[in-house]
């Protein structure tokens, strides 16, 4: 070793490995703290994992690890597995409803249906495959808001659209939109149709035409 080399090394700062460790630590997200943060982190992780794997395959410990939360807090803040699943489904329903809060145009409502988070459709699909979705989802505030928009739009044209018919149409639109998001590419391939932006535009127009025919013209 050359004379004085030790001092030069000691003043050269952290070695590359130490620098990498510092950068990694700086980039790591802070662990959730407090009841609200922990609960939100658990629900966010649970929603993502359920959408990917289905509710029956997701373990509570896996959810806790993904959320970077102590496993014992799952039971403390969310209860049993069934209670956690119900909370996830309610969260999905509530978040979907918030997208309809500040719109009055039915065309915008259709756009929201067609641009919903893909995980929503997957979670609803898993719920239908593995149980009774009516037991876990319950009434949807978002669909009720869309139905109310339909009733108001009909009244503006001097028409009377029954509330139950509006709710049925809202449910139908949601199912069609989610089905198109999940299975549209399969249908297009089977029909020999190329997936383009024009295809999505036409699907959107067809849904708008359907709504207009019911809301503005009645169903007979």
Q: Give me the tens of pLDDT residue by residue for the chain, a chain 220 residues long.
A: 444 444 444 444 445 454 444 444 444 467 887 888 999 999 999 999 988 888 888 899 999 999 999 998 988 888 888 888 888 888 887 887 888 888 888 999 999 888 877 777 788 888 778 776 666 677 888 899 999 999 999 999 899 999 999 999 999 999 999 889 889 999 999 999 999 989 999 999 999 999 999 998 755 4
Name residues whose C-beta falls within 8 Å of residue 193's C-beta, 6 or more positions apart in sequence. Answer: 199
Label residue 73 exposed, middle or buried (CB < 10 Å: 0-12, 13-18, 19+). Answer: middle
Note the pTM of the prediction, 2 decimals: 0.70
CB atoms within 10 A of CB 132: 9
**H or E segment at 11?**
none
Q: Which phi and psi (to 5°) does residue 191 adopt?
A: -90, -5
Answer for the pair 88, 43: CB distance below 8 angstroms, yes or no: yes
Q: How far is CA 111 from each of CA 19, 100, 208, rounded to the nearest angstrom? A: 47, 11, 9
């Amino acid at each position: 070793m050359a004379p004085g080399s030790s001092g030069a090394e000691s003043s050269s700062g952290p070695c590359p490995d130490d620098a990498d460790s510092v950068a990694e630590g700086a980039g790591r997200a802070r662990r959730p703290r407090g009841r609200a943060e922990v609960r939100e982190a658990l629900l966010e992780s649970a929603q993502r994992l359920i959408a990917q794997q289905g509710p029956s395959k997701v373990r509570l410990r896996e959810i806790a690890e993904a959320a970077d939360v102590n496993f014992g807090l799952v039971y403390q803040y969310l209860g049993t597995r069934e209670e956690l699943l119900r909370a996830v489904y309610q969260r999905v329903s509530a978040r979907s409803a918030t997208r309809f809060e500040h719109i009055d145009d039915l065309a915008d409502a259709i756009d929201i249906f067609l641009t919903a988070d893909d995980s929503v459709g997957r979670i609803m699909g898993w719920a239908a495959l593995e149980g009774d979705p009516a037991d876990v989802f319950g009434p949807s505030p978002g669909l009720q808001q869309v139905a109310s928009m339909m009733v108001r739009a009909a009244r503006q044209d001097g028409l009377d659209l029954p509330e139950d018919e509006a709710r049925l149409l809202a449910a139908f639109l949601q199912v069609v939109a989610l089905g198109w998001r999940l299975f549209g590419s399969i249908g297009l391939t089977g029909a020999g149709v190329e997936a383009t932006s024009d295809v999505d535009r036409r699907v959107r127009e067809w849904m708008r035409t359907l709504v207009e025919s019911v809301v503005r013209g009645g169903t007979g």
